[in-house]
Amino acid sequence: IHPSFLGSRPQACPMTVSQLQGTGPLDQDGERDLGLRPGRGSGGSAGFGCGVEGRAAGGERSEFRPPHQPGGASQAEKATSGRRPGGARWPAPRPGAGWRAYPRRGPELGRRLSGRTEREQTSLWAMGAGSHRASSWPPSLLLLLVLGLAGAGPQVDEVDGYKKTEEDGHANTVEHLATATFHRCAKDAWRLPGTYIVVLMEDTHRLQTEHTAHILQARAASQGYLTEILHVFHGLFPGFLVKMSGDLLHLALRLPHVKYIEEDATVFAQSVPWNLERIIPAWNQAAEPQPSFRSSLFSLQASSYTGGGGRVTVYLLDTSIQSGHREIEGRVTVTDFENVPEEDGPCLHRPVNKCDSHGTHVAGVVSGRDAGVAQGASLRSLRVLNCQGKGTVSGTLRGLEFIWRSQLAQPSGRGVVLLPLVGGFSRALNAACQRLARTGAVLVAAAGNFWDDACLYSPASAPEVSVDVGAAQHGGKAGVLVAVCPRVVITVGATNVQDQPVTLGVLGTNFGRCVDLFAPGDDIIGASSDCSTCFTSQSGTSQAAAHVAGIVTMMLTAEPELTLTELRHRLIHFSAKNVINEAWFPEDQRVLTPNLVATLPPSTHGAGGQLLCRTVWSARSAAALAHCAADEELLGCSSFSRRGRWLGERMESRGDKRVCLAHSAFGGEDVFAIARCCLLPQASCSVHTAPPAGTGTETHVRCHQQGHVLTGCSSHWEVEDLGIPRQPGPRPQPDRCVGHEEASVHASCCHAPGLECRVREHGLTGPAEKVAVACEEGWTLTSCGTLPGALHTLGAYAVDNTCVVRTQDISAGHWSHEGAIAAIAICCRSRPHRGPTDSPLRTVPGEASSLGCCGPRS
């Protein structure tokens, strides 16, 4: 220890063994205060104070750090290592001393006494005996410290019942190469530095998790840092929550089994009787001329959503709840789970009912007697938001783990998890939602009230976009493939009484491809926490999500066997379509945002086998990938680029699943892959590919297996555009996909009971913003494309049951005479029985001659 840090009269610090073991109080910087910081000794000289942080001249703090540490002293530090921050030189260290002092801002104390064990170092550090005057300490105090230290420190090698792996065997002696990654919230104001979620590999078992946490504590202690393990995750995912200095991140990322580390962050409540009337579908209102919304809802619940025998529990992660309110009395179980952060600002007395406001209102929207959707539904309340409506990612994770254990304990019932909260994008939170969904739970989340892309927030974006390096191949070169994983959360935006997006001052509902549908979320009447019979109105995507959670609860009550995919498809299929004015959304988000407002679907007992499809957009990228859920079939694949520079798309098989890939041209990053994902029971599907045929010969491919039907076509250019205009490909022929001579062609072929398909086409020869063609009533759009090689196109995509081809903004004077644009739709249906004379694939006279591939001009 440098002599200048020892006063002329060493002070005895009233330390406890618990403080030495890392259980003492935390200081304002999130560090454990051992009472060993450089403090003021007598006579104004620096010495070891007791919990008093010392500052040398110039206001600098001092940090001990060994020069051998990775990222050790900089040249500037070395140049000033012999000087006090104020300019005066430190007294020269004694020869052989193992400590070096580097002045630096920050509360950290460093590290090692050369040639000594960790306990010897800690003893000398605590006693201040590294340089002189060790004999000044009373012998009784020295004995007490030695006996205390004998049992102190983490015992990383003595975990009961744990058998170390080869990787663990070197954990304490060899630093691993940092393959883990660090993530934190993109919103600076929402970050919670000092608390970190350490996520381990999925196959890490419980003892390995605890062992890894012990290793982190031991390594941190050996470098003079204190850590606190706040929680260990065993069920939902392997990992732990740790309070530590950010300086230890480089060390933690090198621990065995670590997959990634995420900084904790804040999450927020999202709340800012037309609503019940709006979700009653037109098919039910037509049966009763001019009914009241209440009588319609009662009639709907009584006739369609009772008698199914399903036991459904709604888990609400929110503020506390006034369970005695007449709207929800007897229907809410307040669990003992509570994990909320301290409130910001001064601690003011706040009436209890103010802390219950958001949770009580949301619970009333779900199951209230008078203003609820699923009236009488059973709720379980978990408190993860404080009285200010704020929570943390880590607290939400612990709440989801609580639900995960509850679901495993009661496997016979179905669970609906309502998440009326939003934080910044969190990989850990999205992954936890995905894991919880595997238990059969249905997760419904608020899209957020920030008038922004919902994909930037969690849990609205769950699961996250994944990046697969080297998986995308084009021209013999590996690329970075950006894929959208199958979504496990139903994300809900908010609309008002005019079916337009909710605006809240300068903010409003979030939007984009991560939103599944919208629901009423403006001026919603519900239970108020002011009294047990009071009502109030609130607005936001929390209220919208509560509506959908109520609808899902009713559907599961009637049909408990419904999967998440079936629920999502029915919500989409029976929603009100094209009622939102797209001009409300930013221009670049209009094609990505679904124009759907939720309504109550009819009871669907006996409706199995109906062909339902939805559109899945990838993230925008140079190489994009979209795929369907495990119980869906990919029947069609298209692509879209706002700049019109892309190479098309292709379908390919990966294991037992098929994916849709798209590539941008000329190194751009402006292409979307668009998958058409369908529920097709008992289907057997495959992809057939034909390489470019060469000059003067069309490229075509057809289904080879007996009984297989063509459900989709795609086309991919193998050579980028060199500036020479390409002629559109030849007109397709029946039952085959036809492409340009320079493009590969891919056909989706499926066999399923009663499956039949046909083609519809609509074309233009002059300039137009877009061309569209829709499937007829009773038929479902499975593929959307345009003529291969057509000029002026930006791509094709499906909007509900309509195929849309967008064109470039070109005036009539610059429109090429070869620029014919055609939208080509493949429409299919699944019929229980088909006569022997029915053809599984046919064209509509005068509308289409065959199946055209999606063929952009690159």
Tell me which of 293-297, 683-687, 762-766 is least confident. 293-297
What does the alpha-carbon distance between residue 764 and residue 298 come to, in Å, rounded to a whole number?
50
pLDDT of residue 45: 37
Terminal Cα distance for the chain, rounded: 69
Structure token digits, residue 600: 């109550």
Asked if 143 and 119 sit in the same domain, the reply is yes
Answer yes or no: is 696 within a domain: yes
Asked if 689 and 650 touch (Cβ cutoff 8 Å), the reply is yes
Name the residue with higher pLDDT: 815 or 779: 779
Q: Indicate whether 307 belongs to any domain.
A: no
The answer to whether position 650 is within a domain reads yes
State mean pLDDT over 402-431: 93
Q: Where are the beta strands (DSSP E) in 99-219?
A: 101-103, 181-183, 191-200
Provide the mean pLDDT of the chain: 75
CB-based contact 424:187 (threshold 8 Å): yes
Whether residue 829 sits in one domain with residue 681: yes
SS3 543: helix
DSSP 453: B
The more confidently predicted of residues 424 and 740 is 424
Backbone torsion region of residue 647, taken as left when φ is above 0, otherwise alpha when ψ lies between -120 and 50, otherwise beta: alpha
List, for residues 69-127, the tens digit of each pLDDT value: 444 444 444 444 444 444 444 444 444 443 333 333 344 434 443 444 444 444 444 44
Instruction: Kindly tell me the number of DSSP H helices and DSSP E strands found in the chain.
Output: 16, 46
What residues contact residue 243 under an 8 Å CB cut-off, 6+ apart? Answer: 26, 30, 194, 195, 196, 227, 228, 230
Last residue of a domain, one of 573, 597, 621: 597
Domain check: are 215 and 97 in the same one? no
Looking at residue 605, what is its pLDDT? 52
Using the predicted structure, report yes or no on whether residue 61 has a pLDDT greater than 50.
Answer: no
The answer to whether residue 118 sits within a structural domain is yes
| pLDDT of 465 strictly over 90 | no
> Domain boundary at 204, 235, 268, which?
268
The pLDDT tens digits for 169-205 are: 554 444 566 789 999 999 999 999 999 999 999 999 9
Q: Is 81 exposed, middle or buried (0-12, 13-18, 19+ CB in 10 A)?
A: middle
Computed on alpha carbons and rounded to an integer, the radius of gyration of the chain in Å comes to: 32
Q: How far apart are CA 323 and CA 660, in angstroms?
A: 48
Give the pLDDT of residue 346.
61
Q: Which of 406, 381, 385 is nearest to 396 (CA)?
A: 385
Distances (CA, A) of 701 to 686, 690, 713, 786, 841: 13, 6, 9, 16, 15
Residues 574 and 718 in one domain: no
User: What is the structure's pLDDT at 445?
Assistant: 97
Q: Binning pLDDT at 50, 70 and 90, where does residue 732 land?
A: low
Helices 393-409/427-437 angle, 10° precision? 10
pLDDT of residue 538: 93
Look at residue 792 and tell me if it is in a domain. Answer: yes
Within this chain, do residues 585 and 644 fall inside the same structural domain, yes or no? Answer: no
Give Cβ neighbours of residue 767 (< 8 Å, ≥ 6 apart).
792, 807, 810, 811, 812, 815
Distance from the Cα of residue 274 to its chain's centroid: 32
Does the structure show a pLDDT above 90 at 546? Answer: yes
pLDDT at 28 over 80: no
Alpha helices (runs of H) in 387-521, residue ranges in sequence order = 393-409, 427-437
Structure confidence by residue, pLDDT tens digits, 145-163: 555 554 444 444 444 445 5
**Is 156 contained in some domain?**
no
| 257, 331: one domain | no
Task: Say if residue 137 is in the same domain as residue 9.
Answer: yes
Is the pLDDT score of 371 beyond 50?
Answer: yes
Residues 6+ apart with CB under 8 A from 476: none
State how far the Cα of 434 lies from the Cα of 330, in Å rounded to an integer.
Answer: 31
**Backbone region of residue 413 per phi and psi (left: phi > 0; alpha: psi in -120 to 50; beta: other values):** beta
Residues serving a catalytic function are 318, 358, 542
As a whole number, mean pLDDT of residues 369-380 equals 90
Strand partners, 536: 526
256 and 171 in a common domain:
yes
Q: How confident is the model at residue 300 (pLDDT cuts 50, 70, 90)?
A: very low
Per-residue pLDDT band at 811 (split at 50, 70, 90): low
Say how many residues make up the chain: 858
Q: How confident is the model at residue 355 (pLDDT cuts 50, 70, 90)?
A: confident
The answer on 326 and 214 residing in a single domain is: no
Residue type, 490: I
Q: Which residues contact 270 (CB under 8 A, 6 or more apart)?
A: 420, 421, 422, 446, 448, 449, 540, 541, 542, 545
With respect to residue 292, please indicate whether it lies within any of the assigned structural domains. no
Q: Could you tell me if 243 and 338 lie in one domain? A: no
Amino acid 343: pLDDT: 85
Q: Categorize the per-residue pLDDT at 665 as very low, low, confident or very high, splitting at 50, 70 and 90.
A: confident
CATH number at residue 699: 2.60.120.690
| pLDDT computed for residue 160 by the predictor | 45
**Interval 408-426 mean pLDDT:** 92
Please count the other Cβ atoms lying within 10 Å of the Cβ belonging to residue 777. Answer: 6
pLDDT at residue 833 in the model = 53
The proportion of the chain whose per-residue pLDDT surpasses 90, expressed as a percent, equals 45
Q: Name the nearest CA neighbour of 319 among 271, 377, 265.
A: 271
Q: How many domains does the chain have?
A: 4
Give the domain-ending residue among 597, 623, 640: 597
The pLDDT of residue 105 is 38
Lookup: tokens for 852: 């055209």
Q: Are the beta carbons of 111 and 66 closer than 8 angstroms?
A: yes
Higher pLDDT, 683 or 613: 613
Q: What is the pLDDT of residues 217-235, one digit of tens each?
A: 999 999 999 999 999 998 8
Q: Is the pLDDT of residue 836 over 60?
A: no
Amino acid 110: pLDDT: 41
Which structural domain range is residue 822 located in?
A: 613-852
pLDDT tens digits for range 508-532: 999 999 999 999 999 999 999 999 9
Q: What is the pLDDT of residue 617?
A: 94
Specify if 28 maps to a domain: yes
Residue 105 has what DSSP assignment? Answer: S
Same domain, 143 and 178: no
- What is residue 552's DSSP assignment? H
The reported pLDDT for the residue numbered 791 is 62
Chain centroid to CA 136: how far?
59
Per-residue pLDDT band at 668 (split at 50, 70, 90): confident
| 637 lies in the same domain as 674 | yes
